[in-house]
Amino acid sequence: MNIGIIGAGAIANTMLERINHDAHENLRINSVLVRDKEKYQHLEGEYGISLHTDLGYFLDSDVDIVVEAANVEVAKSVLPEVMRKKDAMLISVGALAEGEFVAELMQIAKTNGRTLHLPSGAIGGLDLIQNVQSHGELESVTLTTRKPAVALTYETVASEKAVFEGKAIDAIKHFPKNMNVAIILAMAGIGMERTHVTLIADPSTDRNTHQIEVKGAFGRASFTIENEPLPENHNTSYLAAISILGTLERMNRNFVIGG
């Protein structure tokens, strides 16, 4: 499968290293869309890819799927055009915080026969949540996210402090850069109005921890994920980066586990 990437940051470089540099058996990155071609010129020789600055030429290149790995603003500006021509994978899921944009993408996907893939990112357990919700048997979903205090507040915090508690949709409005997990969890489950979020600023931790509690007719489930940062960029979750690679690999398999 030939892949095109939008963006050339930490996630894009991790993908280039693990797919092209390591000569992945079934995956190949052919094209990368950037704003500054001169800045990233070295990637062409290093990984054997073509750099593009024009979205149209990028989409016309030999790619089967486009992976957005830039930021929310870029995702919102280019994703509609991308999905008119290609299947896509969205990393900056904060772009889906607005219902109108989600509805637009759903209509484009339906009209053009496209698929938008949303990797699980920095959490797990979404297969269970989706399976239960598909029969309308999911009663409650709660997310407690604990992050280093400096990532959430400018105040000096002596001990852990809940900086938000309420609906996912409100958490996203107040902490748009810290709620990707809440968005993907709400979309997999009972929605942004019914998913309950607690966000804790903790001065004693240097990592992000997500505690997910699920209740329904099936019983109860809980997941705790303690995220290590990506070595190349401590602002990016290691698990979020490899979830992209895992999703791409499963798309090529004849045997599919879970889901």
Binding positions for NAD(+) = 122, 180
- The yes-or-no answer on residue 117 being catalytic is no
Report the Cα–Cα distance between both ends of the chain, in Å, rounded: 21
Comparing CA positions, the residue from 208, 202, 216, 205 lying closest to residue 240 is: 208
CA angle 19, 24, 25 (to 5 degrees): 155
Query: Which one of the listed residues 42, 196, 210, 234 is annotated catalytic?
Result: 210
Both structure tokens of 239: 């698990």
Comparing CA positions, the residue from 188, 213, 180, 190 lying closest to residue 127 is: 188
Contact 199, 177 (CB under 8 A): no
Contact 215, 195 (CB under 8 A): no
Binding residues: 122, 180
Rg (CA), the chain: 19
Contact 218, 137 (CB under 8 A): yes
Q: Do the bridges between strand 28-33 and strand 2-6 make them parallel or antiparallel, or are there none, so unpaired?
A: parallel
In angstroms, the CA 195 to CA 214 distance is 10
Q: Do the bridges between strand 208-216 and strand 138-148 make them parallel or antiparallel, or are there none, so unpaired?
A: antiparallel
The residues annotated with a catalytic role in the active site are 210
